[in-house]
């Protein structure tokens, strides 16, 4: 027996058999017409036709039978086709019609229904033939009644065959065919009989049989197919996770069991590329679908189309953001909950690999495990893995500046692999925009890109500070400056000490950096925080205490939890000004308010220990801080009122270079006033405004008057003798 040359030859051979079946039925149909053929047949019902119908035998009479020659001819054709089909499959030929029957467990009767419905899709002549046989020029597709008449020899067989069109039948359940004209909406079920509905083969099934493999257009906007190219060797993952995955995949392959995994972890942590590598091991493509889109669509139908597409593409299925689908079960209508439960059941029994991915499944984890899915957690990569990811992504990048320290980037920015790839892409775009001819990836551009790619949602809860100060702008004692530089080194080399030198193995919590700046107002605490942020090239956010502290029980904890949660991926410095309002000493419990205040303090201790970023607390009075906080601090920096020499430097540095100063401004005299840097800045600004409205140059007259106003503002007593020879400017 000669095998088929291809799938299309087999399909046309099957159509030839169906065509002979239709022709034989047509001859019988014409022979039994009781009246001459009318050119207006199907447009009206004649009197003669009614008389004939009224005289016809009652219910239960056998249908029109094909002549023996027709039955024999179609039977022989089927046997010949089956023999050639078997021979083709033995030679490794893919026959799409046979594949479809295998995928959806279709029997020969269902295949014939499908072919009858498919005929008008391939040749328009069948539209006219079906219109004639159904006595209705508007019915160009075969009705269920016509299909059953073509395939069923008796009324009894025809009645039993109605089951092929039930909702749970393979043809209807998998949307291989649609029953057009049958109402299914609320309060309309059953308005049209099953026999009067028309058969329409789904367009995606038509394309599949004709070997057009574009995904179904109804799911194309939120899905795509990839051919896996990544291998496990190229994945940068924790070794224990990679080992567990490889062992599990090997077991599934050996036992010919479809992969059923659920991956949980932050976006970009490697879930998708791991699924890709797993599919490469299995030797199958991967259909990726965004589960969020399912919630916005006709849920049960679209889910069926997604599962069907996976079967038609012979691919594994990756449902990303699946946790968002599960999270909506509590608020959705009952039908959606049932559909989701059915989905989990269908996924468990799905013959292809399935990967469910999301940020975290939490309460649903047990349900997924009970449904046969294995759990794998993808954590945020450690410093060592982040360093490997940066190196892997930039390994062959010739535009990278030679002085770029990837260790510092890995240490400061707690990115996932996906975020690192996006940050590098953004950096390349910035480099091309700045210098199209030689787009160099400099350290500055990489930092700019990393900060742009960090979580920006903190800005809705806090106030972002744009640092303007550097080391030259701040005047502090030598020891204090050294402490600040040590803090910078902590941020820069945290990855080296914790990971490369093994200290993280000794610590379960407290891997972040907690710093206290204490001292009177105006002594440079906020400026020092800005200098640090500028030096380590990280964003800094000032916490607005008024929006956090609440008189309502539990609200303060909620607000702080939100801040620390957003800060996890912000890669920014948190700056709590006047922190003793939040981190103050716990008091003796005298009433319910004291008890809850102490609970808030304990909660803050916990969040600070868990946070792996940098937190700076600023307080005017160190003695007001709770001892438990002080024990958890890595640095405590005291900011004192500057001495006379420091004040002179502050006076000189306060006025910008562009400010027109009189030559006689006596900074040595001004340094004798025991003021803080904040006071001096206020005086310099006020003096500048006085000069702008007067002589146009800042002189001692303006500075003395501004100093007087500052003393009055802060409630500090003074006499004219305090101003010496310049007291004349006070009048």
Q: What is the reported pLDDT for 32? A: 64
Q: Tell me the pairing of strands 635-638 and 513-518.
A: parallel
> Percentage of residues in the chain with pLDDT exceeding 70?
85
pLDDT digit string, tens, across residues 435-493: 888 888 999 999 999 999 888 777 677 888 888 889 988 999 999 999 999 999 999 88
Q: What is the reported pLDDT for 388? A: 92
How far apart CA 539 and CA 463 sit, in angstroms, is 11
The answer to whether residues 489 and 591 touch, using CB atoms and an 8 Å cutoff, is: no
Q: Measuring CA to CA, which residue among 227, 144, 209 is closest to residue 180?
A: 144
Strand partners, 356: 262, 319
Q: Tell me the pairing of strands 177-180 and 513-518.
A: unpaired
Q: What is the reported pLDDT for 64? A: 56
Q: Measuring CA to CA, which residue among 472, 469, 583, 490 is closest to residue 533?
A: 469
pLDDT digit string, tens, across residues 241-287: 999 999 999 999 999 999 999 999 998 999 999 999 999 999 999 99
pLDDT digit string, tens, across residues 425-437: 999 999 999 988 8
Element (H, E) at 224: strand 223-226
CA angle 367, 372, 377 (to 5 degrees): 75
How far apart CA 483 and CA 477 sit, in angstroms, is 10
Structure-token pair, residue 666? 């006596």
Q: What is the reported pLDDT for 103? A: 96
Structure-token pair, residue 309? 């597409």
In the chain, the domains with their CATH numbers are 7-209 (no CATH), 220-377 (3.40.50.300), 383-453 (1.10.8.60), 471-638 (3.40.50.300), 644-730 (1.10.8.60)
- Answer with the residue of higher pLDDT: 601 or 252: 252
User: Rounded to 5 degrees, what are φ and ψ at 508?
Assistant: -95, -35
How far apart CA 565 and CA 569 sit, in angstroms, is 8
Structure-token pair, residue 624? 């007001």
Residue 102 binned pLDDT confidence (cut-offs 50, 70, 90)? very high
Q: Is the dihedral of CA 357, 358, 360, 365 positive or negative?
A: negative
> Would the pLDDT of 727 be above 60?
yes
Mean pLDDT for all residues in the chain: 85
144 burial (CB, 10 Å; 0-12 / 13-18 / 19+) is: buried
How far apart CA 575 and CA 567 sit, in angstroms, is 12
Q: Measuring CA to CA, which residue among 692, 695, 696, 718 is closest to residue 707?
A: 718
> Would the pLDDT of 185 be above 60?
no
Q: What is the reported pLDDT for 591? A: 45
Residue 87 binned pLDDT confidence (cut-offs 50, 70, 90)? very high
C-alpha distances (whole Å) from 404 to each of 236, 283, 324, 401, 454 are 21, 40, 39, 6, 19
Q: What is the reported pLDDT for 621? A: 74
Residue 599, SS3 per DSSP:
helix
Element (H, E) at 316: strand 315-320
pLDDT digit string, tens, across residues 659-681: 999 988 999 999 999 899 999 99
- One DSSP character per residue, 277-311 reads HHHHHHT-EEEEEEHHHHHTS-HHHHHHHHHHHHH
pLDDT digit string, tens, across residues 9-22: 999 999 999 998 88
C-alpha distances (whole Å) from 322 to each of 197, 365, 455 are 37, 12, 22
Residue 604 binned pLDDT confidence (cut-offs 50, 70, 90)? confident
> Would the pLDDT of 688 be above 90?
yes
Element (H, E) at 642: none
* Across 339-354, average pLDDT: 87
Neighbour tally for 363: CB within 10 Å: 11
Residue 335 binned pLDDT confidence (cut-offs 50, 70, 90)? low
Q: What is the reported pLDDT for 7? A: 94
CA angle 148, 142, 44 (to 5 degrees): 105
Q: What is the reported pLDDT for 601? A: 66
How far apart CA 491 and CA 538 sit, in angstroms, is 10
Residue 620 binned pLDDT confidence (cut-offs 50, 70, 90)? confident
**Taking the mean position of all CA atoms in its chain, how far away is CA 300?**
22
Residue 58 binned pLDDT confidence (cut-offs 50, 70, 90)? very low
CA angle 211, 217, 221 (to 5 degrees): 130
CA angle 103, 105, 110 (to 5 degrees): 115
Residue 422 binned pLDDT confidence (cut-offs 50, 70, 90)? very high
The answer to whether residues 466 and 539 touch, using CB atoms and an 8 Å cutoff, is: no
- Answer with the residue of higher pLDDT: 324 or 674: 674
How far apart CA 172 and CA 162 sit, in angstroms, is 12
C-alpha radius of gyration, the chain, whole number: 39
Element (H, E) at 517: strand 513-518
> Would the pLDDT of 98 be above 90?
yes
**Taking the mean position of all CA atoms in its chain, how far away is CA 401?**
32
C-alpha distances (whole Å) from 512 to each of 498, 615, 619 are 10, 8, 20
The answer to whether residues 384 and 360 touch, using CB atoms and an 8 Å cutoff, is: no
Q: Measuring CA to CA, which residue among 160, 132, 151, 144 is closest to residue 200?
A: 144
How far apart CA 459 and CA 45 sit, in angstroms, is 75
Q: Measuring CA to CA, which residue among 181, 199, 196 is closest to residue 142?
A: 199
The answer to whether residues 428 and 399 touch, using CB atoms and an 8 Å cutoff, is: yes
Residue 56 binned pLDDT confidence (cut-offs 50, 70, 90)? very low
Q: What is the reported pLDDT for 37? A: 56
Q: Measuring CA to CA, which residue among 267, 264, 346 is closest to residue 310?
A: 346
The answer to whether residues 354 and 246 touch, using CB atoms and an 8 Å cutoff, is: no
> Percentage of residues in the chain with pLDDT exceeding 90?
50
Residue 331 binned pLDDT confidence (cut-offs 50, 70, 90)? very low
Residue 225, SS3 per DSSP:
strand
Structure-token pair, residue 111? 């295949």
Strand 354-358: give its sheet, edge to edge.
223-226, 285-290, 315-320, 354-358, 260-264, 374-377
Q: What is the reported pLDDT for 457? A: 77
How far apart CA 208 and CA 312 sit, in angstroms, is 7
- Answer with the residue of higher pLDDT: 135 or 357: 357
Residue 45 binned pLDDT confidence (cut-offs 50, 70, 90)? very low
**Taking the mean position of all CA atoms in its chain, how far away is CA 502?**
33
List the end-to-end C-alpha distance of the chain, in Å, as a whole number: 120
Query: What does DSSP assign to residue 268?
Result: T
Q: What is the reported pLDDT for 431? A: 92
Q: pTM for the whole thing?
A: 0.79
């Amino acid at each position: 027996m000669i095998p088929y040359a291809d799938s299309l030859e087999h399909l046309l051979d099957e159509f030839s058999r169906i065509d002979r079946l239709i022709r034989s039925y047509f001859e019988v149909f014409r022979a039994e017409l009781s009246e001459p053929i009318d050119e207006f047949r199907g447009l009206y019902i004649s009197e003669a036709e009614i008389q004939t119908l009224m005289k016809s035998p009652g219910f239960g009479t056998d249908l029109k039978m094909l002549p023996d020659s027709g039955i024999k001819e179609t039977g022989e054709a089927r046997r010949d086709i089956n023999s050639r089909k078997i021979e083709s499959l033995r030679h490794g030929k893919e026959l799409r019609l046979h594949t479809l029957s295998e995928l959806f467990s279709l029997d020969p009767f269902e295949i014939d229904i499908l072919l009858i419905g498919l005929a008008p899709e391939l040749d328009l002549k069948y539209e006219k033939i079906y219109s004639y046989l159904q006595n209705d020029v508007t019915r160009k597709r075969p009705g269920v009644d016509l299909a059953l008449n073509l395939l069923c020899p008796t009324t009894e067989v025809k009645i039993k065959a109605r089951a092929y069109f039930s909702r749970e039948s393979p043809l209807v359940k998998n949307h291989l065919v649609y029953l057009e004209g049958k109402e299914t909406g609320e309060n309309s079920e059953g308005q049209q009989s099953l026999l009067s509905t028309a058969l329409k083969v789904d367009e995606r099934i038509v394309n599949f049989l004709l070997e057009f493999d574009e995904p179904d257009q109804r799911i194309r906007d939120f899905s795509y197919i990839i051919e896996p190219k990544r291998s496990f060797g190229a994945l940068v993952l924790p070794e224990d996770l990679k080992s567990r995955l490889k062992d599990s995949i090997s077991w599934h392959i050996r036992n010919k069991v479809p992969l059923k995994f659920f991956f949980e972890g932050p976006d970009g942590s490697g879930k998708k590329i791991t699924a890709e590598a797993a599919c490469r091991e299995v030797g199958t493509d991967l259909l990726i679908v965004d589960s969020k889109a399912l919630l916005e669509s006709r849920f049960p139908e679209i889910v069926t189309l997604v599962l069907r597409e996976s079967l038609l593409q012979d691919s594994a299925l990756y449902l990303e953001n699946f946790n968002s689908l599960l999270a909506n079960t509590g608020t959705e209508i009952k039908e959606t909950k049932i559909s989701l439960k059915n989905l989990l059941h269908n996924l468990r029994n799905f013959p292809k690999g399935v990967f469910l991915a999301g940020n975290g499944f939490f309460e649903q984890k047990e349900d997924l495990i009970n449904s046969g899915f294995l759990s794998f957690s993808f954590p945020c990569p450690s410093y060592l893995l982040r360093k490997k990811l940066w190196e892997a992504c930039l390994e062959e990048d010739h535009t990278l500046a030679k002085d770029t320290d990837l260790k510092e980037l890995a240490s400061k920015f707690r990115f996932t692999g996906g975020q690192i790839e996006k940050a590098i892409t953004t950096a390349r775009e910035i480099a091309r925009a700045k210098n199209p001819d030689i787009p160099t990836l400099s350290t500055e551009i990489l930092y700019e890109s990393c900060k742009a790619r960090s979580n920006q949602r903190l800005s809705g809860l806090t106030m972002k500070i744009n640092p303007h100060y550097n080391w030259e702008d701040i005047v502090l004692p030598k020891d204090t400056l050294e402490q600040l530089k040590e803090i910078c080194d902590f941020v820069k080399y945290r990855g080296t000490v914790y990971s490369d030198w093994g200290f993280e193995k000794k610590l379960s919590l407290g891997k972040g950096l907690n710093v206290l700046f204490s001292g009177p107002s105006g002594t440079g605490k906020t400026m020092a925080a800005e200098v640090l942020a500028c030096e380590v090239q990280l964003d800094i956010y000032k916490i607005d205490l008024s929006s956090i502290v609440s008189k309502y029980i539990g609200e303060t904890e909620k607000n702080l939890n939100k801040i620390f949660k957003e800060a996890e991926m912000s890669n920014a410095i948190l700056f709590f000004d006047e922190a003793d309002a939040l981190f103050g000493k716990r008091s003796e419990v005298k009433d319910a308010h004291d008890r809850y205040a102490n609970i808030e303090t304990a909660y803050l201790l916990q969040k600070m220990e868990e946070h792996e970023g940098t937190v700076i607390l600023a307080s005017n009075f160190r003695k007001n801080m709770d001892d438990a906080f002080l024990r958890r601090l890595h640095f405590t920096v005291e900011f004192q009122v500057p001495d006379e020499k420091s004040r002179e430097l502050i006076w000189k540095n306060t006025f910008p270079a562009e400010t027109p100063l009189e030559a006689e401004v006596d900074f040595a005299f001004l340094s004798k006033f025991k003021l803080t840097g904040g006071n001096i800045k206020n005086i310099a600004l006020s003096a500048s405004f006085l000069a702008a409205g007067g002589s146009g140059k800042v002189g001692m007259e303006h500075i003395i008057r501004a100093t007087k106003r500052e003393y009055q503002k802060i409630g500090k007593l003074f006499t004219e003798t305090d101003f010496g020879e310049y007291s004349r400017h006070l009048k």
